Amino acid sequence: MTGTDPQSASTPNPNADAEGPGAAGPTMNDSDGGGSNGTDHGVVQLHDGDNVWMAARALVAGETIGNLRIAGSAVPAGHKVAAQAIPAGELVIKFGQPIGKASCDIGVGEHVHSHNLVDAHQVDSDWRSLAGTAFSTSSPAKKPTVPAEKTWQGFVRPDGQVGTRNYVQILARVNCSATVCHHVAARFPPERLAEFPNVDGIAIGTHTTGCALRYAGQKQQMLGRVLKGYAGHANVGSCLTIGLGCEQTTPEYLSEHHQLVAISDPRSLPVTSPESESVSTTMLTMQAEGGTRATIDRAEKHLETMLEIANQNSRTTVPARHLRLALECGGSDGHSGWTANPLVGALADRMVAHGGAAVLSETTELIGAEHLLVARSRDESVAQRLMDKVDWWKQHVAMYGGEIDNNPSIGNKAGGLTTITEKSLGAVSKSGTGILDGVLDYADTVPKQGLYVMDSPGFDPSSVTGKVAGGCNLVLFTTGRGSCFGGKPVPVIKIASHSTLFHAMRDDMDWNAGQLLEGVSMDELADQLFEELLQFASGTQTASERLGLGDHEFVPWTVGPVL
């Protein structure tokens, strides 16, 4: 990364890619001071065409960086500063893309944020105008060279799936059985679980629905897909589901609509073939068992047996292609879109090149960048399906009097993100540069190879729940403000977008993408993290696992009225 005069940086960046953010390497612009690596990077040019630059550190009003004088007020780290005058109504450009319009005249060196920038993105219903002249099939996206097949240590299941962990899962069929589920798990404290060294623990999945919904309607179908996905997940050695008895989500419904088959004895689990679509799970019903205490007692006996069964599994060497990565960002800031998210995108490219899969979600946080994914779509049907999801969200939010631009949170804005378009352009860089192979409904099964978008809201627990239900067995989670998210039965790798956060919340962070601002190249850091990713998949505990997080992050997204 080179130091450049921000007023004269007109030489084209050889790494620049007009297709979207994250491809062009940032240009650092240095002041005369000394930073942690001997250079004080004051501002960063993310793309040759940008008229706003990024503050790599807190900038003081009146200081000069090259020929750029910080005017008006201080600019916090991760925020934007005008590299040139921007008249009212003119587009503000970041990542080489418009992120909104100036709401008033903006002078050179001024802080650019909510006080002078508004979103101006309009969803184009004609996706062909977004795609340009060719899809990725005629203009293949870049893929990294794979020198040799990588391997890791995983749990191979009878149906051919491979788990990164080995949990016993307890699922509530309805909120009315949620407390019972937690009481059952409480009967297995750490000292009792220590008797089963090959089992990572008990994962609890309780939620707020399961009844007061239209039978077999959209809401119930979404919940059913989640329950089946968790019960049959590669990271689950055995599963117990508990219901009250009078709910809509009955064993009969789950069997008929989702091939989630009830068995009475966990030892009678059938041998599942890779061709089978059914999943077997032990089911208990509180009303049939005689109430709360009787159900807990019976469930404890079942769980003891299930732990014994799961403990018979052990790890074996498997190819990297058995990994399916859930790509997530939460508590994003102005650094996220040019450090942590592009780093995850580089890992997604590597994963797909190795024959595995990567899944992007949070549809509301793609709006403003949907044209970049349309242009990378496998074919017209994929592009059309993505735009259909975007259009649904636009109508869905409007029905409640909201706007998509309401998505950036208070924390996002404090970290430097101003509009949904800006947030989306940074978020989409988690998908890397590869071909978009498909668009999935929430909690749909994720294919074994390729890059996919799964429809979901921009709420981290619901988004991750859907991708795990789809089969993702490792979560890459970037954060700029400091998320403390953890997951069971799938481990979550937390990636800090800058070094200050990484060191301030060291117990919660697994990796520091801020190294990209300190002289480490993207390829070097991505190669290092890919090797670490394989170690995490093989059983190395993540920060959130060491903290014991993950018992309350199971949050299925369901759409429909409570009746």
Structure tokens given for 499:
């070094």
CB 6 within 8 A of CB 64: no
Q: Work out the average pLDDT over 136-141.
A: 44
Task: Say if residue 126's pLDDT is above 90.
Answer: no
Residue 125 pLDDT class (50, 70, 90 cuts): low
Q: Do domains 43-120 and 167-312 have the same CATH topology?
A: no
> Domain boundaries in the chain?
43-120, 167-312, 325-547
Q: Report the alpha-carbon distance of residue 324 to residue 30 in Å, rounded.
A: 40
pLDDT digits (tens, 9 = 90+) for 389-408: 999 999 999 898 887 766 67
pTM for this model (two decimals): 0.90
Task: Say if residue 106's pLDDT is above 70.
Answer: yes
Q: Work out the average pLDDT over 425-443.
A: 97
pLDDT digits (tens, 9 = 90+) for 408-424: 788 888 888 999 899 99
> Which strands sit side by side in the sheet containing 474-479, from one edge to the other?
436-440, 450-454, 357-360, 324-329, 474-479, 492-496, 511-512
- Concatenating the DSSP letter of every residue in 206-226 gives --S-SSSS-TTSHHHHHHHHH
pLDDT digits (tens, 9 = 90+) for 343-360: 999 999 999 999 999 999
Structure tokens given for 320:
């990297």
Q: Share the mean pLDDT of the chain.
A: 88
Class of domain 43-120: mainly beta
pLDDT digits (tens, 9 = 90+) for 146-196: 657 899 999 999 889 999 999 999 999 999 999 999 999 999 999 999 999
Percent of the chain with pLDDT over 90: 77
The pLDDT assigned to 278 comes to 87
The pLDDT assigned to 147 comes to 57
pLDDT digits (tens, 9 = 90+) for 257-300: 999 999 888 887 655 555 568 899 999 999 999 999 999 999 99
Q: Which residue has the higher pLDDT, 151 or 29?
A: 151
Structure tokens given for 550:
């993950």
For the ranges 164-168, 271-275, 433-437, 501-505, the lowest mean pLDDT is seen at 271-275
The pLDDT assigned to 276 comes to 65
Q: Report the alpha-carbon distance of residue 205 to residue 272 in Å, rounded.
A: 23
The pLDDT assigned to 407 comes to 67
Asked: is 167-312 a CATH 3.40.50 domain? The reply is yes
- β-pairing, 167-172 with 111-112? unpaired
